[in-house]
Amino acid sequence: MFEAPENPFLVPTDGSFRVANASTTTAEDAPSKKKSRKQLEDVVERLTDAQRRLYAQDQYSLLLVFQAMDAAGKDGTIRAVMSGINPAGCQVFSFKQPSPNELDHDFLWRTGLCLPERGRIGIFNRSYYEEVLVVRVHPEYLGGQRIPDLPPLEQLWEQRFESIRNHEKHLAQNGTVVLKFWLNVSRTEQRNRFIARLREADKNWKFSATDVRESELWDQYMEAYEEALNATSRPWAPWYAIPADNKPYMRLTVARIIDETLASLPLRYPEVNADAREELEAMREQLEAERSEEF
C-alpha cells in the first residue's frame, strides 16, 4: 500500500498541524515565477510518460483531491498540471451543492460514483470534504440531509472523519493512490483576486457575491480546515498544505508531488511473452512484405 514520502508541505499524521503556521507564500529560495513555469513544463513531460505507463499497466489508479477557499486557484492548477495528460486516461469532477438525488444517499455516495478505475487519474475539484468544511460552517445544511437520530454536531463530525478515513484506507488497500491538496491562499491575496475578477471584464463571470459572504466566515473555515486535515491526513492518504499566493509556484509544487508519487510506484508497460512476440514478428514481416509488393 502506498505511503507518502517526506515532503515539507506534508500535513503530519499526529494532529500537530496548525493553519497559523502553514505558509501561504513561497520560500526565499523558491524559483521565480518565470522559472517556475519553465520547470513545470519539464515536470509535466514526466507526468505524461508516467500516465502512459499507469494507463497501460492498468493496476493502480490515482485520485487527486483539491480543496481550497474561493479564488485559491483550483481550476488553474488542475488545468496547468494536467495539460500534458491524455484525456482518455484522466477525468475531472467538480462537486457543488448536492442535488435532491444525492441528498437521498449518504455523503460519500456521489463521489463514490466518480472514483477513477484502474489505470486512470481521477481529479476531485472539491469533494466529500465539503461535508466537514462547508457543512460544518453552515450546519443548517444538515436539514436537507434528513439524517435519522442526528447526533450532537461534534460527534457527527467525528463520525464523518471516521467514515472518510475508512473510505480512503479501503481505496488505498485496493490500488487507488490518494493525494489531497489544500491550496492555502491568504485572506489578503483572496481579496486581491476578487478585485481582479471585478475589474477585468473577462473575469466577471468568475465572481459571485456568495464568495465574499463566505470569506467573512474565514476564521470558522480555517478552524474547520485545521481539524479536517489533522483528522484525515494519513500515510496512505496524505494531505499537503500548498502555499497558494504565488500561482506558478503552487502549480509547480503540486506537479512535483504528483510526479514523485508516480515515480515511487512500480509502473511499467506490460511485457509480451515469447509466443506473442513471435506472432507479432510474423505479422510485422507480413505487413512489410505486402508494402514491398505495392511498390
* 4-14 pLDDT, tens digit each: 878 999 999 99
Q: Does 3 reside within a domain?
A: no
pTM over 0.85: yes
Q: Does 11 reside within a domain?
A: no
What is the band of 284 on the pLDDT scale with cuts at 50, 70, 90? confident
Residue carrying C-alpha cell 506558478:
248
Q: pLDDT at residue 293 above 80?
A: no
Q: Does 63 reside within a domain?
A: yes
Average pLDDT over residues 23-50: 93
What is the band of 74 on the pLDDT scale with cuts at 50, 70, 90? very high
pLDDT given at position 283:
81
Q: What is the CATH number of the domain that holds 151?
A: 3.40.50.300
State how many domains the chain has.
1
What is the band of 285 on the pLDDT scale with cuts at 50, 70, 90? confident
Q: Does 12 reside within a domain?
A: no
* 158-216 pLDDT, tens digit each: 999 999 999 999 999 999 999 999 999 999 999 999 999 998 887 788 778 888 899 99
Q: Does 9 reside within a domain?
A: no
The 3-class SS string of the chain reads CCCCCCCCCECCCCCCCCHHHCCCCCCCCCCCHHHHHHHHHHHHHHHHHHHHHHHHHCCCEEEEEEEECCCCCHHHHHHHHCCCCCHHHEEEEECCCCCHHHHCCCCCHHHHCCCCCCCCEEEEECCHHHHHCHHHHCHHHHHHHCCCCCCCHHHHHHHHHHHHHHHHHHHHHCCEEEEEEEEECCHHHHHHHHHHHHHCHHHHHHCCHHHHHHHCCHHHHHHHHHHHHHHHCECCECEEEEECCCHHHHHHHHHHHHHHHHHHCCCCCCCCCHHHHHHHHHHHHHHHHHHHHHC
Whole-number Å distance between alpha carbons of 61 and 123: 11
What is the band of 260 on the pLDDT scale with cuts at 50, 70, 90? very high
Q: pLDDT at residue 221 above 90?
A: yes
Q: Does 192 reside within a domain?
A: yes
Grid cell of 221 as nine digits = 473555515
Structural domain containing residue 32 = 19-294
* 88-115 pLDDT, tens digit each: 899 999 999 999 999 999 999 999 999 9
Average pLDDT over residues 211-232: 96
Q: pLDDT at residue 295 above 70?
A: no
Q: Does 46 reside within a domain?
A: yes
Grid cell of 88 as nine digits = 482518455
Q: Does 6 reside within a domain?
A: no
